[in-house]
Each structure stands twice: as structure tokens, then as C-alpha cells.
Amino acid sequence: MGSSHAASQTSRAKNCETIVEAIRHAATAEAFRDAMFRATGWLGFDHYSICHYVKDRGRTLAVSFSQMPPEWQRAVSLHHYWKHCPIAAACQSTVGGFAWSTLPSIIELHPEHKQMLALARQCGISEGFSVPAHLPSAVSGSVTFATAGNRTLPIEALPYAQYIATTAYPVSLEVTQSSLKTRHAARLSDRQLECLRLVAHGKSDWEIGQLLGISKETAHKHIQGAMRRLAVSSRAQLIVQALFSSQLTYGDVLN
């Protein structure tokens, strides 16, 4: 019995290393997504998400890679729930992976946090396991694996999930940056960059207009134009793409 269990654990560890190597050597976004999809299923989860966080007056969430339910992603974007993400908040208070069900022991859950978690359940996400990512001189973020329906977390797989997550996050940054270089990201205009720096500091279109001496509508037009130019669908993603293409600096965002 004992030797059989040990052999099983050894085999599982070898399989994990194979998956980690596939993630580590993923040279394109497509290869990385495929490797993460395989890792998610092997761990016993149904969904995964890798988020890069950009500092705002709260926390701004930019989803870099995700296989979460489409209805969840649409709702989060539509209602701007990323402004009050409990996962992002908890990641600032801990370094180890945590189950979503333990969030009340990590942070104080505000009504907006509870609303976002309730939305996840409505979209078919039953539980999640998130691993914070804090790298020197890089955008911080998290890697999340989630279960669907009424499935509980695969407890025995959590140490492997933590290991895979810590490998996947820096690769996600490299792949995103490489993808931008391959696409020869268009350059933003000086006015678009002025607006974007203020977006990074949590300013609304109206506030940007007041600070730059332009109308709210003109500020909005500049930001929408920047989003189209860098082929992104949210302001948070716009900030991250501008960082990766060296059009914004971390000083622009964090100071």
C-alpha cells in the first residue's frame, strides 16, 4: 500500500514537471494557452485565469489569459467589478495560494467584493484557488484555477497548482511582451499618452478633461482611439499593453 502510494506520487510529480516544462518553453500566446489548458484539466480544475494588476486608486485588473466562462468575463467588464476585485485585494495581503472560501480570513469583504463572488457563482464558478504573483520590477498579479458547478477544490492538487502558477506567471509576461513586439504595436500620440497617464491614476474622462483643458468627450475620444490602436478592449488592458510596449513607464503608473 505504502509503496503503491509512493509510486503514484512519483508519477504525478513527473507529470507535473512535464506540464511545467511545456509552460516554461511556450514561445507564443497560442502555445502558452494550450499548455495552461492542459495544466488546468490535469490539476482537476475547469477554468483558469491569469491577471496582471496595475495600480490605481484601488486595484485595476487586466486579464492577460483566461479560460473563465464568457458570461463571467462579460459581466465583470460591463459592471467594472475589477475595480473591487477581492482576489486582487487579497493578493496584496498574502504570498501563498488561497481558496476563495478563505477570503474572509485574509481581507474584510466589502459589499462590492461579495457581489463579485456571488456573480461568479451565478456564472457557474463554484470555487477558486488563486496564487499571488509578486515579481521585482514587474507588474504584480495572480494565477487562478477554478471549479465549475458544485465541484469542490481538488485538495491534493493544490501544491501542484501553486508550483504551476509560479512558473506560469512570469511566462505570461514574457509571452505578452513578445506578442506585442511581433505585432509591432502602433505608437500612441502624445495626447493619447497624456490621457493614458491620467487613466492609470484613476482619473475619469471628466477629470482628465479638466486637467488637460479639453472636453470630457474629447478625452474619451483620445482614450478610445488609443484602445483601438493597441487592439485592446478595456482601459486596464490598455495600460498593461502600453507598459509592455515601453510607451508608459512604471513610474508613470505607480507615482
Domains of the chain: 2-181 (3.30.450.80), 186-254 (1.10.10.10)
Pairwise CA distance, residues 32 & 52, whole Å = 16
Q: What are phi and psi of 135, to 5 degrees?
A: -115, 140
Confidence (pLDDT) at 58: 47
Q: Mean of the per-residue pLDDT values for the chain?
A: 85
- Using only C-alpha atoms, what is the Rg of the chain? 19
Residue 104 has what DSSP assignment?
G
Written as nine digits, the cell of 245 is 510596449
By the 8 A CB rule, do 113 and 56 touch? no
Q: What digits encode the pLDDT tens for the residues 5-31?
A: 566 678 888 999 999 999 999 988 889
Please determine, for residue 54, whether its predicted confidence score (pLDDT) is greater than 80.
no
**pLDDT band at 2; cut points 50, 70, 90:** low
Mean pLDDT of the 171-193 span: 75
Please determine, for residue 225, whether its predicted confidence score (pLDDT) is greater than 90.
yes
Pairwise CA distance, residues 113 & 215, whole Å = 33
Which residues pair with residue 62 across a beta bridge? 52
Highest mean predicted confidence (pLDDT) among 8-22, 55-69, 70-84, 212-226: 212-226
